[in-house]
């Protein structure tokens, strides 16, 4: 270090500070990219999935309730409209489930989704059988569908869809926990870089002061003595770098 020129010392100091700055910016960009990806996944996957599943479940339940009303008042002139609304709700439920189905998912969720599809298929068959029994006025079948087949199929389908909703919510919570950990890690890194930067700046100031200001002050002191005609001062040269040039000049005058 003693033989480094002032320019080299300044260059090394600037390079080190530049590396710290680059690391800070790179880590900041990396952290923002990770959190942005997580936010997009929640906004474009988890929330739309939960919303679609919720509406699909409600529409499915509405279809079941409307058919119950249809069975209780089959001879009412408005009964045909109730039946149509029931199947319209069932179609809406299928449509919202397809919207959920279009959202990308992982392998674990896909297993749950297949269970939900099977349960929904069974529910549709039960509802169609229930409607057909009402149309035939088959009281025995109506009682069986209304009291057992449809409620059981609906409960199975609803449970399967709730598991999908719970999976999405848990995934969103998991990503939130990961974001918290990323934030804590990046905060620790930034604080470390900040402390390191302050320490590096202080150390750089100390080295540059030692390399430039101290020798320059001593050289000026020697020149002051020389200007006063005092040539008795001893000059000690510890290096041959740029900061030693004033000493060499002073030594030349002493000679």
Segments of the chain with pLDDT less than 50: 243, 246-248, 250-255
Residue 223 lies in a domain: no
Q: What is the pLDDT of residue 253?
A: 45
Two tokens, residue 178: 């990961």
In degrees, rounded to 5, the angle at the alpha carbon of residue 194 between the alpha carbons of residues 25 and 183 is 60
C-alpha gyration radius of the chain? 40
Residue 108 lies in a domain: yes
Q: What is the pLDDT of residue 175?
A: 82
pLDDT in tens, 56-105: 999 999 999 999 988 888 877 777 788 899 999 999 999 999 999 999 88
Measured distance CA(223)–CA(204) in Å, rounded? 28
- Location of structure tokens 């700046």: 201
User: What is the pTM assigned to this prediction?
Assistant: 0.67
Q: How many other C-beta atoms lie within 10 A of the C-beta of residue 171?
A: 19
Measured distance CA(118)–CA(46) in Å, rounded? 22
Range of the domain at 86: 28-194
Q: What is the pLDDT of residue 250?
A: 46
Contacts of 161 (CB under 8 A, 6+ apart): 53, 56, 57, 116, 119, 120
Residue 166 lies in a domain: yes
Handedness of CA 57, 58, 60, 65 (dihedral sign): positive
Measured distance CA(117)–CA(18) in Å, rounded? 57
Q: What is the pLDDT of residue 112?
A: 95
Phi, psi dihedral angles at 47 (to 5 degrees):
-65, -50
Residue 172 lies in a domain: yes
Residue 80 lies in a domain: yes
Handedness of CA 214, 215, 218, 224 (dihedral sign): negative
Contact 97, 120 (CB under 8 A): yes
Q: Could you give the C-alpha distances from 250 to 2, 7, 222, 239, in angstroms and in order?
A: 19, 22, 7, 14
**Number of folded domains in the chain?**
1
Residue 47 lies in a domain: yes
Residue 240 lies in a domain: no
Residue 146 lies in a domain: yes
- The CATH number covering residue 188 comes to 1.20.120.1730
């Amino acid at each position: 270090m003693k033989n480094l020129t002032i320019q080299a010392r300044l260059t090394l100091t600037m390079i080190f500070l530049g590396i710290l700055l680059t690391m800070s910016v790179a880590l900041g960009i990396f952290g923002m990219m990770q959190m942005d990806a997580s936010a997009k996944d929640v906004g474009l996957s988890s929330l739309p999935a939960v919303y679609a599943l919720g509406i699909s479940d409600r529409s499915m339940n509405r279809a079941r309730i409307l058919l119950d009303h249809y069975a209780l008042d089959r001879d009412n002139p408005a009964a045909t409209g109730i039946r149509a609304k029931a199947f319209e709700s069932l179609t809406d439920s299928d449509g919202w489930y397809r919207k959920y189905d279009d959202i990308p998912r992982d392998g674990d969720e896909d297993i749950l989704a297949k269970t939900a599809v099977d349960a929904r298929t069974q529910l549709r068959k039960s509802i169609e059988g229930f409607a057909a029994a009402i149309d035939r006025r088959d009281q025995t079948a109506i009682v069986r569908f209304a009291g057992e087949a449809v409620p059981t199929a609906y409960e199975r389908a609803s449970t399967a869809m709730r598991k999908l909703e719970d999976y999405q919510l848990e995934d969103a919570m998991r990503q939130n926990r990961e974001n918290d950990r990323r934030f804590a890690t990046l905060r620790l890194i930034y604080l470390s870089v900040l402390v390191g930067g302050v320490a590096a700046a202080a150390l750089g100031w100390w080295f540059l002061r030692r390399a430039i200001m101290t020798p320059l002050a001593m050289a000026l002191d020697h020149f002051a003595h020389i200007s006063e005609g005092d040539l008795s001062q001893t000059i000690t040269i510890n290096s041959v770098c740029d900061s030693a040039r004033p000493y060499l000049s002073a030594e030349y005058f002493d000679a």
